[in-house]
Amino acid sequence: MIELARGIYYLAGGVNCGILETGDGGCLIVDTGNSDDSGKKLLKACRAKNLEPRAIINTHSHADHYGGNAFLLKHLEIPVYAPIFEESILRYPILEPIYLWSGARAHKELQNRFLLAGASPAKVLNEAGKRKIAGLEIELLEVSGHAHIQFAVKVNDVLFAADAVFGQAILEKHPLSFMVDIQLAREAIETVRASGARIVLPGHGEPTTEIDALCDANVAALERSNQAVLSACFDVGTTPEILARVCAMLEVQMTDLTRYVLNQTAVLAHLTDLEERGLVRHSIVRNVLVWQAVHDL
């Protein structure tokens, strides 16, 4: 458990989990990791500091961020809070593999711990803003785009940014980040930049005080992916062809269905953005959906 500021800690892992002291021997947990095991580690870390978990906030409903909920709820009677809309996925976790599989019954290869975790009904966080949870004053910032609704959690001058921004090493390792709405993702990075936080902890990666540099790197990575998708449309192509061209440009290797559907969703988010900006057009030719860049610009 690493201290970011007085009474504000995080447990580093595949996903960083926040542990915020509530001042009465309790703590508020921000995200719980991807499995029972991460829930177990989190509980152990809290108890080692004599902190009793009072509530959980999930920043968004991706299984790697809420997968530890089920273990914690088995051992503790505490409320879970999640953003509106995302909360429905916590109730019916199969929705995540279903939407990644175009709405069809989820392929069993997609029912793994990165995409599916146990259900944990949550109280709905309807909107961003200041609020008290478990007696602790926090501020929720809306940072959607990576997920349909995502909230970053600010406590004093520390921002738990969720997946609005990724650490620099993560951006290098995964040049095509998962996104569902590119314009909202752009705005989310600027929300992090303007948050006034002194320390930002991304959901994946290291904490930093170099917030402009972190945001600049995330803008660059997002626009590089967006440009790659646009370039991939210079020749007419189907969605799988555009995806393969983008992966070749960004040197991404896909070897399993999970990676494939995540990248496919990110590419569709970019195609939607490019079409809305008048740069790309779709058409259906002899029953085949194809995309092409609009050349007369």
**How far apart are alpha carbons 74 and 58 in whole angstroms?**
17
Looking at the Cβ atoms of 117 and 280, the one nearer to Zn ion is: 117
- Amino acid, single-letter form, for residue 226: N
Smallest gap, in angstroms, from Cβ of residue 230 to Zn ion? 24
**Which residue, judged by CB position, is nearest to Zn ion in the bound state?**
62
Smallest gap, in angstroms, from Cβ of residue 146 to Zn ion? 6
Contact 146, 164 (CB under 8 A): yes
By DSSP bridging, strand 80-83 and strand 123-125 are parallel
Smallest gap, in angstroms, from Cβ of residue 204 to Zn ion? 8
Residue 95: count of CB within 10 angstroms of its CB: 17
Looking at the Cβ atoms of 62 and 154, the one nearer to Zn ion is: 62
Give the CA distances from residue 280 to residues 37, 190, 212, 234, in Å, rounded to whole numbers and listed in that order.
44, 25, 31, 9
Which of the 8 DSSP states describes residue 108?
G
Query: 119 CB contacts (<8 Å, ≥6 apart)?
Result: 70, 90, 91, 92, 93
Helix residue ranges, H only, 49-126: 63-66, 69-75, 86-91, 95-100
Smallest gap, in angstroms, from Cβ of residue 65 to Zn ion? 6
Looking at the Cβ atoms of 66 and 71, the one nearer to Zn ion is: 66
Looking at the Cβ atoms of 19 and 179, the one nearer to Zn ion is: 179
Instruction: Name the residues that contact Zn ion, by CB under 5 A.
Output: 62, 163
Looking at the Cβ atoms of 62 and 193, the one nearer to Zn ion is: 62
Of 220, 215, 271, the closest CA to residue 245 belongs to 271
Smallest gap, in angstroms, from Cβ of residue 84 to Zn ion? 17
Query: 111 CB contacts (<8 Å, ≥6 apart)?
Result: 94, 97
Looking at the Cβ atoms of 136 and 179, the one nearer to Zn ion is: 179
Smallest gap, in angstroms, from Cβ of residue 61 to Zn ion? 9
Looking at the Cβ atoms of 265 and 292, the one nearer to Zn ion is: 265
Smallest gap, in angstroms, from Cβ of residue 34 to Zn ion? 10
**How far apart are alpha carbons 254 and 50 in whole angstroms?**
43
- The SS3 call for residue 287 is coil
